């Protein structure tokens, strides 16, 4: 089961209209120098032929749609260090300096770790880019068992082992750890008080391991759902007598350090059957203005596109040309330049969400064009090794597929 299927089975964090914030101010750290952290999400599921086969069988049925989506460099396996070196070269040459790996941990096991463990961490050029973890943790089949505090502590220790790598991404010295689905913790760990205790325990375990703590980031969603349903009316552990009524109060009660998004789709569902990228992006970016009211730094997100047909989902984004993608990157840069609390940090969906039509990895239609837009807006710093050729598309693949 991949991340898109997780989305279909989960709720979300409601934000909506938010009160004025009195929350944390941004600490001065490595991102205050004028350089930008451009972090791209990485879906670690492209190993076996069955996943690629699901893409090959999709065909365009709407004007402006690009199916099947075909990688320019072929169906590479992320658990191969050579593949990761190729990706690292392309990312760093185009201004991407951080990878956020989708990291799957459940009560009854783990999955999709090969790209990180066997691919990235064995790549010869891994130290040329930072990496971090986003815990993808919704309780879905076959992993629906109740998530215990004991298991949470095990997951914390497994994450801390990654934190110790010299190229793990830190903010103000603390390893960045993002949580995709807070509802699991609130439901299974005893509500707000139990979740806070677990997160505080996570920080203590990191400090006992010789680290300065953990920078806890929360992925937020627009649609009302699990988090506030489980939390509303509960007592705030840090404020005696105070009951939680808003998302900002919940985030403060749990002690998160920042928020971001995974994809615009979590905030603005694409209209059916298709929607123009510009109107979709305008609607999503409008929600940026509410995010600082959550009381912690917000890291804006730019999403390259959306096409759920490979996952049997309706709602397809069209006209997400490289140039239009670049315009939203510029808007993100202006946001960062005028919101110092965001510490010059941007997340992008995604490097390789091929099953959702959101990818910067070159394809046979646009080749390096999306990466070129990233480089125009966020040029790389320092000495950059050039990407070793664009690798021509196989002759059997047509450049235009509609």
45-97: per-residue pLDDT in tens?
A: 886 666 777 788 888 888 888 888 889 999 999 999 999 999 999 999 999 99
The pLDDT value recorded for residue 363 is 95
End-to-end CA distance of the chain: 29
Q: Residue 233: how many CB atoms within 10 A of its CB? A: 10
Sign of the alpha-carbon torsion through 64, 65, 69, 70: negative
Q: Which pair of tokens denotes residue 146?
A: 């109740």
Number of C-beta neighbours around residue 390 at 10 A:
12
- 386 CB-contact burial (10 Å; exposed 0-12 / middle 13-18 / buried 19+): exposed
pLDDT at 348: 98
For the chain, which ranges sit under pLDDT 70? 1-34, 47-50, 139-144, 223-226, 382-402
Angstrom distance (rounded) from CA 206 to CA 228: 28
Give the span between the Cα atoms of 227 and 294, in whole angstroms. Answer: 14
d(CA 234, CA 200): 18
Distance from chain centroid for Cα 39: 8
pTM here is 0.89
**What integer pLDDT is reported at residue 1 of this predicted model?**
40
Q: Is 342 in contact with 299 (CB distance < 8 Å)?
A: yes
What is the pLDDT at residue 313?
Answer: 76
């Amino acid at each position: 089961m991949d991340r898109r299927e997780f989305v279909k089975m989960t709720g979300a964090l409601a934000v909506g209209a938010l009160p004025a914030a009195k929350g944390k101010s941004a600490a001065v750290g490595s991102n205050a120098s004028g350089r930008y952290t451009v972090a791209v999400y990485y879906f670690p599921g492209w190993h076996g032929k069955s996943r690629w086969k699901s893409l090959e069988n999709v065909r365009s049925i709407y004007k402006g749609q690009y199916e099947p989506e075909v990688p320019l460099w072929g169906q590479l396996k992320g658990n191969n260090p050579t593949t990761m070196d190729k990706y690292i070269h392309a990312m760093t040459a185009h201004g991407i300096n951080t990878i956020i790996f989708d990291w799957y941990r459940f009560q009854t096991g783990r999955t999709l770790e090969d790209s990180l463990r066997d691919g990235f961490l064995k790549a010869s050029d891994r130290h040329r880019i930072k990496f971090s973890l986003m815990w993808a943790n919704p309780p879905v089949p076959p992993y629906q068992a109740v998530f215990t505090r004991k298991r949470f502590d095990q997951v914390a220790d497994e994450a801390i082992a990654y934190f110790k790598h010299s190229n793990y991404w830190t903010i103000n010295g603390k390893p960045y750890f993002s949580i995709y689905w807070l509802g699991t913790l609130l439901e299974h760990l005893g509500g707000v008080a139990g979740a806070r205790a677990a997160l505080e325990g996570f920080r203590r375990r990191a400090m006992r391991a010789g680290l300065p703590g953990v920078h806890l980031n929360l992925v937020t969603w627009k649609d009302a759902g699990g988090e506030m349903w489980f939390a509303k009316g509960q007592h705030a552990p840090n404020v005696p007598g105070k009951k939680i009524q808003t998302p900002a109060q919940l985030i403060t009660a749990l002690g998160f350090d920042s928020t971001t998004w995974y994809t615009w789709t979590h905030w603005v569902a694409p209209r059916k059957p298709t929607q123009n990228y510009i109107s979709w992006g305008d609607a999503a970016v409008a929600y940026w203005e509410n995010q600082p009211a959550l009381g912690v730094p917000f890291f804006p997100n730019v999403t390259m596109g959306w096409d759920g047909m490979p996952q049997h989902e309706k709602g397809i984004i069209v006209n997400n040309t490289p140039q239009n993608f670049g315009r939203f990157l510029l808007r993100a840069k202006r946001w960062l330049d005028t919101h110092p609390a965001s510490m010059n940090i941007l997340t992008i969906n995604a490097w390789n969400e091929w099953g959702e039509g959101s990818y910067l990895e070159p394809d046979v239609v646009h080749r390096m064009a999306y990466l070129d837009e990233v480089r125009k807006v966020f040029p790389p710093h320092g000495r950059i090794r050039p990407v070793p050729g664009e690798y021509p598309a196989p002759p059997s693949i047509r450049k235009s597929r509609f």
